[in-house]
Amino acid sequence: MRSIFFLSLAMLIACPADKELGGDSGGDGEGSPDPELGCSEDVECSAWQICASNECVDGDRNNAQDEAEPVSLETEEELERYINTAGDVDYYTIESGGGEFIFALTDAHDEVDEGVPVPDTFLTLYDPEGDIVTTTDDFPNGGRVNNMDSAMWAYLSQPGTYTLKVSDANPVKGKEAWGGSDFTYTLSVRTWGQATYGTSTFAEPFEFGEGGLTLTENTLYAVGVILEEPGEVDYVAVNFPYANAGFYVDGIEDLTGSDANPMVSILTTEETLLSQRDEVGPNAGVFYPNMTEGPVMIAVEDAEGDGGANYWAVLIIKALDQDSALDAEAEPNDAQAQATEIAMTEKENTNERIFFDGTVQGDMGAPGDVDIFRIHVSGEATVEDDEGTEVQYLVLCMNSARWGSSIAPDLTVYDEAWTELGSNGGTVDDVPNNRIENIAVVPGEPIYIEVSAGLDSLGTLDEWYMLKAYVASFSVTSYEDGGYSCPP
């Protein structure tokens, strides 16, 4: 579900500029020597080769940790290298005094000949003891960004020598490993100063720029967080650029080397909770579906209330497209006569069979609130059930607590006579939080959906949900088998 947020994004950080490729601790890039003359050292060979037994062969000199090539954080040097052979691994060392965030980036998106696989790198960072700090393939939250290959943020909590490994990502994805002169990449490693560093208070949060981190549409922003003391809460001030859009805060998937379980909250400037969840990064992000323009706060803490030198995380922050919020319920809609209509769009699946879908968002606007929705679609597209009766099939899918809401509402479906057709209770820990599959409905007749979080709901701003409805002329494949998608 992550990838929906990360298609064709402009990045806060710039891409490395195109450069003529040089050697990988191998040749000087001047071309192959005369094979009859042989070689005596690497510089006499091509950039992707080394000199072995007086012959130029594909390879390099940084294939093990004890052969690692030093990388300086001070010069921000951009290295131009190769995955020289299938299975080649390149190692680099980083000296750190401890207590600093770094950003490592590989760009392997060079053009290759037709029929040649596209270069794709995988990064692994080891601490001075040889334990994994983090890994990344593509963007560190598990999505893809169109102007970089592998991006890594990491916190170097202790002084010493860290090792960064660059390898071919294809075997990780079940594809064949490859290498050679076409598998080129650039590597840059630098310190990352955009981090909370130390305890922040709500009155004095981390601010990048005047008045907070100002978001731009279709841009990802990374902020490092270090929770040095037990019970510490760090705050990040954000300027949200427009109304009627979703606000998304994710993290890095692989937090192997951190002791933290990041719990992230989205708050108003009056400290009112809008959304909150733990395991941000390793287990999806936190979301608020309909942000207004202006200041907003992000709070980060360890879910167990712990802290220390190795309690760190990285926030990946994004404002979704302007006007991207789902259609909202129209209150009051507590009764059948007040039902909010869900706009349904007619579509065809890959088998040219007709279905309709529509989405809506709502909230428990008062203690014990109940929301009623109405669906009314064409009765022309139908299918016969087991008894030969013409029917359509209704599917409902809801997410709420999955993305940080404090509720997981129940769903009940009624016909026009208010006869119950089906129901299901929401569950906080389920993904999605609620769903109803393939209820047979009478073609062309209205369908009513009741959403209720129960009498215990408080009507607070963090009690929100997103609902998607399908009406199909066929029995829909289950969610587990990829039959349909859920919001957002």
List, for residues 75-90, the tens digit of each pLDDT value: 778 999 999 999 999 9
Residue 118 has pLDDT above 90, yes or no: no
Task: Identify the band that residue 388 occupies on the pLDDT scale cut at 50, 70 and 90.
Answer: confident
Q: Could you tell me the pLDDT band of residue 146, with boundaries at 50, 70 and 90?
A: confident
Of 116-120, 363-367, 416-420, the least confident:
116-120
The Cα 399–Cα 431 span in angstroms is 8
pLDDT digits (tens, 9 = 90+) for 187-224: 999 999 999 987 688 999 999 988 899 999 888 999 99
Q: What is residue 19's predicted lDDT score, i.e. its pLDDT?
A: 30
Distance from C-alpha of 213 to C-alpha of 223, rounded to nearest angstrom: 10
Q: Tens digits of per-residue pLDDT, 319-363?
A: 999 999 999 999 999 999 999 999 999 999 999 999 999 999 999
**Residue 455 backbone zone (phi > 0: left; psi -120 to 50: alpha; other: beta):** alpha
* Measured distance CA(474)–CA(400) in Å, rounded: 27
Confidence band of 177 (pLDDT split at 50, 70, 90): very high
Give the pLDDT of residue 229: 94
Residue 37 pLDDT: 66
At residue 136, what is the residue type?
Answer: T
Q: What is the pTM of this model?
A: 0.90
Q: Which domains does the chain have, with CATH numbers?
A: 2-25+60-191 (2.60.120.380), 213-319 (2.60.120.380), 336-481 (2.60.120.380)
DSSP, residue by residue, 179-212: -STT-EEEEEEEE---B--S---SSS-B-SSTTS
Residue 258, amino acid: S
Closest residue by Cα to residue 434 from 453, 459, 455: 453
For β-strands 69-71 and 89-96, DSSP reports them as: parallel
Mean pLDDT of 425-437: 97
| Dihedral in degrees, nearest 10, Cα atoms 165, 170, 171, 174 | 150
10-11/69-71 β-pairing:
unpaired
Which residue's structure tokens are 């490993």? 177
The mean-pLDDT minimum among 24-33, 221-230, 258-267, 308-317 falls in 24-33
Mean pLDDT of the chain: 90
Confidence tier at 305 by pLDDT (50, 70, 90): very high
Judge if the upstream peptide bond of residue 432 is cis by omega within 30 degrees of 0: yes
Per-residue pLDDT at 2: 44
**From CA 222, how far away is CA 487, in angstroms rounded?**
25
Q: Is pLDDT above 60 for 309?
A: yes
pLDDT for 457 equals 93
